[in-house]
Structure formats: C-alpha cells, structure tokens
Amino acid sequence: MLNKYARAFFTRVLTPFAAFLIRRGVSPDTVTLLGTAGVVAGALVFYPRGEFFWGTVVITLFVFSDLVDGNMARQLGRSSRWGAFLDSTLDRVADGAVFGGFALWYAGHGDDNVLCAVSIFCLASGQVVSYTKARGESIGLPVAVNGLVERAERLVVSLVAAGLAGLHAFGVPGIQYLLPVALWLVAVGSLVTLIQRVVTVRRESAEADAATAADVAAEPKPEPKPEPEGRETAQ
C-alpha cells in the first residue's frame, strides 16, 4: 500500500529537490551513498544509547534519499542496472543498521533479551523477504505477490514507533511501549510475508515445470531413419 500510494506522493514532492541537486552537479550514486551513510550513522549512534527520538529524526532526513536518487536518474535519463543494484544493496545495509541499533539497545542498557531477539529476527527476516523475491525472479518466475509487510511498511512502523517512544525522554508517560509493540508487529508481519512469498514461488515453480514438461511432450518426435541395406557377402 505504501509503495503504491505514499511513494508516488513523495516522489512528486521531492522532484524539485532532485532537480536542484542535478543543477548542482550531484550524481544519483552520490545521493544513494550519502543517504545510506546518514541512516547507518543515525541508527548506530543514537539507537544503542536509547536516543530514539533524535535517532529517528536523523534517519528520516536521510531515508528519503531512496526516492531522490531514483528521481534524479529518471530526470537525467540514466536509469541503469548498476544504479538499481547499488540502491537495492545499500537498502539492505540501511535496514540492517536500523534493526541492529534496536538490538544493541536491548542487549545493553535496554536489558531485554527477548526484544533483542525480536529485533534480530526483524533484521534477518527483512533480508530474507527481499532475497526470496530476487531469487525467484532470477530463476525466471514472476513472484506475483508482494506480501503483508514489505520494506516500506517495516521502516514506517518501526521508525514512527521509535520516534514516538523517544518522547518518553521528554516526559511523555507510557509511550516507550510503542517500540516493543511495533517490533512484534514487524516480526509477525515479516514472517507472514516470507511464508506468502515462499508459497508463491513453490506454486509458480511447479506450474513452470509442468508447462515445460507439457511442451516437451507435445514436441513431434523425429521418425526413425531406415537402416541402410547391408551388402551381400560374396560366396
């Protein structure tokens, strides 16, 4: 849902900013790298210390680079396989930093091994969810399912909850429990999405194998060539 509606909205909003960066000679790859560096810094500097509000502010400022770099590439007419590869790869790095920051907090001053494990599960499942689609497509399957929780949902739910939970440091009571609830929701949603994609790939692969077998069976078999007559042996 977020990919379909929110991405289109923010793309329109950020188009003038993307055009401004182009006029200043900034490349899309530079935006991708700087955006990822900002997200990683915000997550691994602030989150392990429990500074969820300011960490989320920093991450939010940089996370929109994921939309800006693609917008710039389209305006420049430079959409390429390399750009798509770099963007997808660094997305995984940024996601890992966010949930890794949560895990470090709960493993340290947060003192909650269960939530540390949930954070690690969110990190790992997010990577695997992305891998299942990429791997399915690489073997020629459409993987015609998105699933309950994709990257946009994982980030929005987690970051909004973390930012609000950070308001506890400013005296807002009880709001710190939003982050644990959000992590559980993301964990369950990621598991459901993973199952949806695995089931879809299993079904599509079975259909593709059956279609291939049917095509092979339908191919006309070559008629056997007549054996050449043998020469009579002289007596």
- List, by residue number, the catalytic residues: 91
Residue 123 Cα distances to 92, 96, 154, 172, angstroms: 9, 6, 10, 28
Q: Which of 75, 71, 86, 103 is nearest to 7 (CA)?
A: 71
Q: Are 28 and 69 in contact (CB under 8 A)?
A: yes
| Residue 46: exposure state from Cβ atoms within 10 A (0-12, 13-18, ≥19) | buried
The three-class DSSP label of residue 26 is: coil
Please name the residues in contact with 180: beta carbons below 8 A apart, sequence gap of 6 or more: 112, 115, 118
Q: Are 98 and 59 in contact (CB under 8 A)?
A: yes
Amino acid identity for residue 35 in this structure: G
Q: Are 74 and 131 in contact (CB under 8 A)?
A: no
